[in-house]
Chain A
């Protein structure tokens, strides 16, 4: 790799998009599945244009947290505020229309469709022509089609996947599928991007590539990014602030350096002698 991954400290000194006010605020979120307490009284916020990581050991409730933000799970207690507006019940479609896009831990692409078509699918929110207009190829449908295609081509160039534009997704290696999924999320032109373990199962080179793309997305489009990650090293390198969960509880919150030196976090990751 010839392109170094810049640390967040360096980045924040000369950011193109300085941190704004909190775009997303979660207060006292609790989530139960029957008798299982998945999340207990969790509060944190996400500033506009920052890269916010949620980390924690297996079963800590990271994915549940992301699903709450995304509106897939509705918490029993607590509230979500997006851009100062309190949302009592977030639904996935509502989240999407607010500009929240996401990727999944287990890749959720249309496997038989080409890369191009998959990313085009991400443009759904920017398509207003009706079914009939598209079927009859009326002017608005045609105009939208070429606008969307132009936007998708920009993403394809951004993610450097020109060579697989027409390849069916099922034929691609894992690392590239992850990149395509990121592309589909980007196609929605999100203000907040939720990434569920974007680096899981990748080799070092693929991880470095993915890190670079995440930083580039943040830097180029100013997208606010919330990501879940297992790999501590990666998280510390690219995120601005980190939330640490353990057994559904928040045990740490702060910059990577603060979190790294937090005794509770060290205990949770390395274990404590009993």
Chain B
């Protein structure tokens, strides 16, 4: 990094630094009413300063908790800056969280002030206000539909900013002093964990730990202030706040907020980001869209696509393996790039992507290879909320698709005998908010944090994640069983949106399958299968046959690996309704909540192991009972192996 960073140990100091150094460069771009509008670093700093002064007048104090509830917008990030200027702790929440989820987060963090994007969020907040006595003030951004709201807690962002600008002349020194008072050891953020195993915990991270990790990651990725990233994931997830706030603060690059989530792809194509973070789910959706549309293209286009992707895969695999490329390979690669891969990268808005990371959940090696074959430098990143995110990542030139790469500088890794990954790093969290017992349980006296993930380090120091410790189990015959691997393989199939594998303590592996409606319905249209809706389509014998084929293919692949052969999926069920975070079976980032799923679908799972071929399920929340079929999947023979 550049010199002179020694004093820049908090985000407001970094912000002021950028406003001085690159004041006219873009900090945030937002597409609004069809036009990209730019907020420069100077404007961002000015707006945050005004907001901070007005917020201070409304009682925001050092150490207070401020919740942010909204999508990625310049104003959300300005509110984040303003809170940090006053030494407050920012609590980003998921914008699609239900009122009850928000209430428990607000109560858990003693939130005093809330920034809400629009009427929808304000409605949720007003509903829970009686249960949240700590909340003094709700700032709303968009005033549409807000005319009839007269609650005294409410104040509009615009009027707050106006007040702040008036205060700026007389109280500018106060703010400078507040910024100077901040220290790197102050807590900066409180993120709620995704809560895959149990209730969400509030993780407190300091300025110093986040800035340290971001600096290391920025120097590894060679980030410059000319880089561009999209801000499109929920700010409540640490990954988004890191790539949309922490890293821009460190590297001075610009983030772009799409017009809406529906226009993300088109907006991304317009901006051409150079730095990209995605969850495996986003990438799966993209990959499925591409393969689906190519399947429909037919004829010459389809043959060209397949041929070029095959070339891309081969070249990418050779490069990763460190094998030299022949002249023929190079020529073929160049031709396929000009004909197909380049244009496809352009359609995906990824032609300028220099570094792309997938994080947040397990990514299937095939998924990674799909994007690498397209010529996109996609790498895995491993980390969790408690570890300041950057624990391990794949390095350029040393990408092994089935690992998450080697530890980032400054991170120490250790494995327990049970193969749990322990992490010690400058980026570790300070504490679980108001829960010293849990903090002590998660981080031992020597500073090792128990990640709860099982993994192994291979010979050249690359980390391979097996699964969550809690989910690693064994079949009845003692064969180790990790559901994550099977599920991420299944999810790569275009027709499968989500899969849940069961096997711990059982004599065989069974799976619940959630079909990808878009792809499956198009397939059904092509097959002239008529259906009335999701539940009907999911119960069709033809669809069962389709999924059975997909599973059989995967089983054949598993059979070739002796360690995995016993994990082949024997029986499966297609769910009549998609798994949803609103039902509590997924986290807001889309990870499975296995306990909740096991509870909710207990009857189905039991029936799979009973050997029944159908079962009548009474929905928990009322409504009509549904008949759900259970089918067998073809299992690949392992006799060759036994004979050998």
Co-complex (A, B): yes
Determine, out of A18-26, A151-159, A177-185, A263-271, the stretch whose residues face the partner at the interface: A151-159
Q: Is the CB of A216 within 8 A of B145?
A: yes
Residue interface mask A128-165, B partner, CB < 8 A = 1 = 00000000000000000000011001101110101101
CB distance from B133 to the nearest CB of A (A): 24
Among A63-121, those with CB < 8 Å from B are: none
Instruction: Kindly state the separation between the CA atoms of A197 and B119 in the bound complex, as whole angstroms.
Output: 28
Q: Which of A14, A154, A158, A162 contacts B148 (CB 8 A)?
A: A14
Q: Is the CB of A156 within 8 A of B145?
A: no
Q: Is the CB of A163 within 8 A of B263?
A: yes
Question: A16 at interface (Cβ–Cβ under 8 A)?
Answer: yes
Least CB separation from A150: chain B residue:
B33
Q: Is the CB of B33 within 8 A of A153?
A: yes
Question: B147 at interface (Cβ–Cβ under 8 A)?
Answer: yes
Instruction: Kindly state the separation between the CA atoms of A266 and B148 in the bound complex, as whole angstroms.
Output: 34
Q: Is the CB of B147 within 8 A of A16?
A: yes
Question: B640 at interface (Cβ–Cβ under 8 A)?
Answer: no
Question: B259 at interface (Cβ–Cβ under 8 A)?
Answer: yes
CB distance from A204 to the nearest CB of B (A): 15
Q: Is the CB of A219 within 8 A of B145?
A: yes
Least CB separation from A162: chain B residue:
B259
Instruction: Kindly state the separation between the CA atoms of A2 and B125 in the bound complex, as whole angstroms.
Output: 12
User: Can you list the 5 inter-chain pairs with the closest CB atoms, starting with the nearest?
Assistant: A163-B262, A153-B33, A153-B34, A162-B259, A163-B263
Query: Given the known A-B contacts A150-B33, A157-B33, A162-B259, are A2 and B120 also in contact in the complex, defined by CB atoms under 8 Å?
Result: yes
Instruction: Kindly state the separation between the CA atoms of A255 and B123 in the bound complex, as whole angstroms.
Output: 28
Question: A171 at interface (Cβ–Cβ under 8 A)?
Answer: no
Instruction: Kindly state the separation between the CA atoms of A14 and B104 in the bound complex, as whole angstroms.
Output: 33
Instruction: Kindly state the separation between the CA atoms of A220 and B147 in the bound complex, as whole angstroms.
Output: 9
Instruction: Kindly state the separation between the CA atoms of A171 and B260 in the bound complex, as whole angstroms.
Output: 20
- With a cutoff of 8 Å between Cβ atoms, the chain A residues found around residue B260 in the complex are 160, 162-163
Question: B144 at interface (Cβ–Cβ under 8 A)?
Answer: yes
- With a cutoff of 8 Å between Cβ atoms, the chain A residues found around residue B147 in the complex are 14, 16, 219
- With a cutoff of 8 Å between Cβ atoms, the chain B residues found around residue A163 in the complex are 259-260, 262-263
Among B105-130, those with CB < 8 Å from A are: 119-120, 123-124
Instruction: Kindly state the separation between the CA atoms of A153 and B120 in the bound complex, as whole angstroms.
Output: 22
CB distance from B257 to the nearest CB of A (A): 13
Least CB separation from B262: chain A residue:
A163
Least CB separation from A212: chain B residue:
B145
Residue interface mask A232-255, B partner, CB < 8 A = 1 = 000000000000000000000000
Least CB separation from A14: chain B residue:
B148
Interface residues on B, range: 10 to 19
Least CB separation from B147: chain A residue:
A16
Known contacts A2-B123, A153-B34, A156-B33; 8 further A-B pairs (Cβ under 8 A): A3-B120, A3-B145, A10-B148, A14-B148, A150-B33, A162-B260, A163-B260, A220-B144
Least CB separation from B118: chain A residue:
A3
Residue interface mask B257-286, A partner, CB < 8 A = 1 = 001101100000000000000000000000
Least CB separation from A2: chain B residue:
B120
Instruction: Kindly state the separation between the CA atoms of A216 and B150 in the bound complex, as whole angstroms.
Output: 18
- With a cutoff of 8 Å between Cβ atoms, the chain B residues found around residue A150 in the complex are 33
CB distance from A222 to the nearest CB of B (A): 11
Sample of 13 A–B contacts (CB below 8 Å): A3-B123, A6-B148, A10-B148, A16-B147, A153-B33, A157-B32, A158-B144, A162-B262, A163-B259, A163-B262, A163-B263, A216-B144, A219-B145
CB distance from A14 to the nearest CB of B (A): 5
- With a cutoff of 8 Å between Cβ atoms, the chain B residues found around residue A16 in the complex are 147
Q: Is the CB of A165 within 8 A of B34?
A: yes
Instruction: Kindly state the separation between the CA atoms of A137 and B119 in the bound complex, as whole angstroms.
Output: 41
Residue interface mask B144-161, A partner, CB < 8 A = 1 = 110110100000000000
Among A27-61, those with CB < 8 Å from B are: none
Instruction: Kindly state the separation between the CA atoms of A162 and B35 in the bound complex, as whole angstroms.
Output: 11
Instruction: Kindly state the separation between the CA atoms of A232 and B147 in the bound complex, as whole angstroms.
Output: 28
- With a cutoff of 8 Å between Cβ atoms, the chain B residues found around residue A3 in the complex are 119-120, 123, 145
Instruction: Kindly state the separation between the CA atoms of A220 and B144 in the bound complex, as whole angstroms.
Output: 8
CB distance from A39 to the nearest CB of B (A): 37
Instruction: Kindly state the separation between the CA atoms of A165 and B268 in the bound complex, as whole angstroms.
Output: 16
Instruction: Kindly state the separation between the CA atoms of A89 and B148 in the bound complex, as whole angstroms.
Output: 40
CB distance from A203 to the nearest CB of B (A): 12
- With a cutoff of 8 Å between Cβ atoms, the chain A residues found around residue B119 in the complex are 3
Least CB separation from A220: chain B residue:
B144
Q: Is the CB of B34 within 8 A of A156?
A: yes
Instruction: Kindly state the separation between the CA atoms of A4 and B145 in the bound complex, as whole angstroms.
Output: 11
- With a cutoff of 8 Å between Cβ atoms, the chain B residues found around residue A158 in the complex are 144
Least CB separation from B145: chain A residue:
A216
- With a cutoff of 8 Å between Cβ atoms, the chain A residues found around residue B123 in the complex are 2-4
Least CB separation from A151: chain B residue:
B33
Q: Is the CB of A154 within 8 A of B120?
A: no
Instruction: Kindly state the separation between the CA atoms of A2 and B69 in the bound complex, as whole angstroms.
Output: 15
Residue interface mask B2-41, A partner, CB < 8 A = 1 = 0000000000000000000000000000001111000000
Instruction: Kindly state the separation between the CA atoms of A160 and B263 in the bound complex, as whole angstroms.
Output: 11
CB distance from A10 to the nearest CB of B (A): 8
Instruction: Kindly state the separation between the CA atoms of A124 and B594 in the bound complex, as whole angstroms.
Output: 58
Among A199-230, those with CB < 8 Å from B are: 216, 219-220
- With a cutoff of 8 Å between Cβ atoms, the chain B residues found around residue A162 in the complex are 34, 259-260, 262-263
- With a cutoff of 8 Å between Cβ atoms, the chain B residues found around residue A157 in the complex are 32-33
CB distance from B130 to the nearest CB of A (A): 18
Instruction: Kindly state the separation between the CA atoms of A165 and B32 in the bound complex, as whole angstroms.
Output: 13
- With a cutoff of 8 Å between Cβ atoms, the chain B residues found around residue A4 in the complex are 123
- The CB with the most chain B CB atoms within 10 A, among A10, A16, A150, A163, is that of A163
Instruction: Kindly state the separation between the CA atoms of A230 and B312 in the bound complex, as whole angstroms.
Output: 58
Instruction: Kindly state the separation between the CA atoms of A219 and B147 in the bound complex, as whole angstroms.
Output: 9
CB distance from A171 to the nearest CB of B (A): 15
Instruction: Kindly state the separation between the CA atoms of A76 and B500 in the bound complex, as whole angstroms.
Output: 71
Instruction: Kindly state the separation between the CA atoms of A163 and B144 in the bound complex, as whole angstroms.
Output: 20
CB distance from B142 to the nearest CB of A (A): 10
- With a cutoff of 8 Å between Cβ atoms, the chain B residues found around residue A14 in the complex are 147-148, 150
Least CB separation from A11: chain B residue:
B148
Instruction: Kindly state the separation between the CA atoms of A4 and B119 in the bound complex, as whole angstroms.
Output: 11
CB distance from A154 to the nearest CB of B (A): 6
- The CB with the most chain B CB atoms within 10 A, among A3, A154, A156, A162, is that of A162
- With a cutoff of 8 Å between Cβ atoms, the chain B residues found around residue A153 in the complex are 33-35
Instruction: Kindly state the separation between the CA atoms of A14 and B150 in the bound complex, as whole angstroms.
Output: 10
- With a cutoff of 8 Å between Cβ atoms, the chain B residues found around residue A154 in the complex are 33
Instruction: Kindly state the separation between the CA atoms of A86 and B144 in the bound complex, as whole angstroms.
Output: 37
CB distance from B305 to the nearest CB of A (A): 24
Least CB separation from B260: chain A residue:
A162
Instruction: Kindly state the separation between the CA atoms of A231 and B32 in the bound complex, as whole angstroms.
Output: 35
Among B143-197, those with CB < 8 Å from A are: 144-145, 147-148, 150
Q: Is the CB of A2 within 8 A of B33?
A: no
- With a cutoff of 8 Å between Cβ atoms, the chain A residues found around residue B144 in the complex are 158, 216, 220
Instruction: Kindly state the separation between the CA atoms of A22 and B147 in the bound complex, as whole angstroms.
Output: 25
Least CB separation from B124: chain A residue:
A2
CB distance from B156 to the nearest CB of A (A): 15
Instruction: Kindly state the separation between the CA atoms of A11 and B145 in the bound complex, as whole angstroms.
Output: 11
Instruction: Kindly state the separation between the CA atoms of A3 and B147 in the bound complex, as whole angstroms.
Output: 15
CB distance from A199 to the nearest CB of B (A): 20
- The CB with the most chain A CB atoms within 10 A, among B32, B34, B124, B260, is that of B34
CB distance from A214 to the nearest CB of B (A): 13
Instruction: Kindly state the separation between the CA atoms of A203 and B452 in the bound complex, as whole angstroms.
Output: 46
- With a cutoff of 8 Å between Cβ atoms, the chain A residues found around residue B33 in the complex are 150, 153-154, 156-157
